[in-house]
């Protein structure tokens, strides 16, 4: 099977053996044909990969929504059972399959009005983040490369249409 990798290696090997302009032209035409054939196969594979990835992403969203619905039902069912156990005066129910019990939760804090809480109970968090867009703007506007950074202008991307 001829792959793009093999086409490249064969072309490089044959290119070193070219002696005339006619041979160079013929080799270039043969390379063009082989590259286009391989490119069609590559485009098909890449398009299929993209469609498959999108389908997985869509299924992932559907499963996430299903999981969230089940978790909501689970929490509502627990609340319903707890409410009824308390109304009937039960703290524990044992069955051959398992047991249901109500226990006191550990203490927790509910913030009612943050503005009146004393400073000693406020924890300040500072987030430092490098502004890459600002650094890139400085480079684009005046060619300035900020110390501690490197501007990469050699990146490229493959577009598939």
**What are the extents of the domains in the chain?**
4-104+117-142
**In sequence order, what E strands does 23-98 have?**
92-94
* pLDDT at 1 > cutoff 70: no
Q: 161 pLDDT exceeds 80?
A: no
DSSP assigned state of 107: P
- Cα–Cα separations (whole angstroms), residue 40 to 47, 57, 159: 11, 26, 14
| Residue 160 clears pLDDT 80, i.e. is over it | no
Phi-psi region of 98 (alpha: psi -120 to 50; beta: other; left: phi over 0): left
Mean pLDDT of 113-120: 94
Strands (E), the chain: 92-94, 99-101
| Gap between the Cα atoms of 73 and 110, Å rounded | 25
pLDDT of residue 50: 95
Mean pLDDT for 86-104 is 94
* Count of alpha carbons within 13 angstroms of residue 69, beta-carbon side: 6
Q: What gap in Å lies between CA 57 and CA 50, rounded to an integer?
A: 10
Q: What is the pLDDT of residues 124-158, one digit of tens each?
A: 999 999 999 999 999 899 888 999 999 988 887 76
User: Residue 19: what pLDDT?
Assistant: 84
């Amino acid at each position: 099977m001829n792959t793009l990798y093999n086409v490249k290696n064969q072309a490089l090997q044959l290119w070193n053996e070219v002696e005339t302009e006619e041979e160079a032209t013929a080799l270039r035409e043969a390379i063009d044909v082989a590259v286009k054939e391989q490119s069609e196969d590559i485009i098909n594979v890449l398009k299929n990969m993209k469609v498959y990835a999108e389908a997985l992403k869509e299924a992932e969203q559907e499963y996430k929504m299903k999981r969230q619905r089940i978790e909501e039902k689970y929490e509502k069912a627990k609340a319903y059972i707890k409410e009824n156990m308390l109304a009937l005066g039960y703290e524990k129910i044992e069955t051959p399959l398992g047991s249901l019990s109500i226990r006191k939760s550990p203490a927790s804090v509910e913030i009612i009005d943050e503005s009146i809480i004393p400073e000693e109970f406020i924890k300040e968090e500072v987030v430092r983040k490098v502004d890459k867009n600002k650094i890139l703007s400085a480079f684009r506007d005046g060619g300035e490369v900020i110390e501690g950074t490197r501007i990469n202008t050699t990146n490229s991307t493959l577009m598939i249409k």
